[in-house]
Amino acid sequence: MKRWKLAAIAGGGAALVGAVALAVWIIITITTVGPSTFNTGVATGASSLALRDNTCVTAKTRDIWPVMTGAQPGALVSGEVCACNDAGGSPLIFAITSTNTNAVLSAGLVARVTVTGIVAGSSPPACQSPSLNTDGSRVASVTQDELYFGPLAGLKAGDPLAGRQTGDQALDGGGFCERVCVTVALPLAAGAELSSLNNDTDVLFHHQQQ
């Protein structure tokens, strides 16, 4: 299981009625989940999901996304992580779940998660970002596969239950990678009720041998 942490900080003020300040960053904490934990078949190798920065080479340990201080409704922020199954590993699948600390703010933000497609090596296609419009709707020109679209409060893809579940992502062994792309929007229609709120979103990557 990998942890990808997003933090949204909403700030208010008399001069910014309904304005929300967003600060979004990623912190990854790696907890290895071996194939024996989930796989009831014959293990043919290790299952290890590596999360990397946009180069798909350097391990992503902490990444500061663009910060929007005192942002007005209509603000967007985008980021990405490269998910890789290193050479020598067995095919794996992964699912994404999330938790939030503030139900009101996380419900008021819109998230879209897309993936670029799986390729051998460290050069998956670039993310088509931002994937949301300022009103929180989808950008129609984004053609990459969508894993999630909706309130940040419900962000998930697939299911961490044992075995292949609907929405799980597969990565072949032997150095295959894909980019996981995220855009978060504070929609134009966001109201003053979101000001002065703080929210931390933990995005968890659960992986198992296929």
Query: pLDDT tens across 167-194, in order?
Result: 888 888 778 889 999 898 889 998 888 8
Q: Is the pLDDT of residue 17 over 50?
A: no
pLDDT, residue 52, reads 82
pLDDT, residue 101, reads 79
pLDDT, residue 33, reads 39
Return the sign of the alpha-carbon dihedral for residues 131, 135, 137, 142.
negative
pLDDT, residue 39, reads 34
pLDDT, residue 18, reads 45
pTM of the entire structure?
0.81
Residues 13 and 21: their CA atoms lie apart, in Å, by 10
Query: pLDDT tens across 74-107, in order?
Result: 888 888 888 888 766 678 888 888 877 789 888 9
| Domain that includes residue 82, residue range | 2-209
Structure tokens, 60? 């992503």
Q: Are 151 and 201 in contact (CB under 8 A)?
A: no
If pLDDT is split at 50, 70 and 90, which confidence band does 67 have?
Answer: low
Q: Is the pLDDT of residue 38 over 50?
A: no
Number of domains in the chain: 1
Q: Output 42 or 187, whichever has higher pLDDT.
A: 187
Reference 4, options 136, 115, 99, 141; nearest CA is 99
**Percentage of the chain modeled with pLDDT above 70:** 70
pLDDT, residue 29, reads 38
Long-range contacts, stretch 20-23, CB < 8 angstroms, 24+ apart: 20/71, 20/72, 20/73, 20/75, 20/105, 20/186, 20/190, 20/194, 20/195, 20/197, 21/68, 21/69, 21/70, 21/71, 22/67, 22/68, 22/71, 22/75, 22/77, 22/184, 22/186, 23/67, 23/68, 23/69
Q: Are 86 and 57 in contact (CB under 8 A)?
A: no
Q: Output 63 or 24, whichever has higher pLDDT.
A: 63
pLDDT, residue 191, reads 82
Reference 177, options 167, 169, 185; nearest CA is 169
Residue by residue, DSSP assigns 7-70 as EEE----TTSTT---EEEEEEEEE----HHHH--S---S---EEEE-TTSSSB-SEEEEEEETT
If pLDDT is split at 50, 70 and 90, which confidence band does 71 have?
Answer: low
Q: Is the pLDDT of residue 1 over 60?
A: no
- Region 37-48: mean pLDDT is 42
Structure tokens, 11? 């700030």
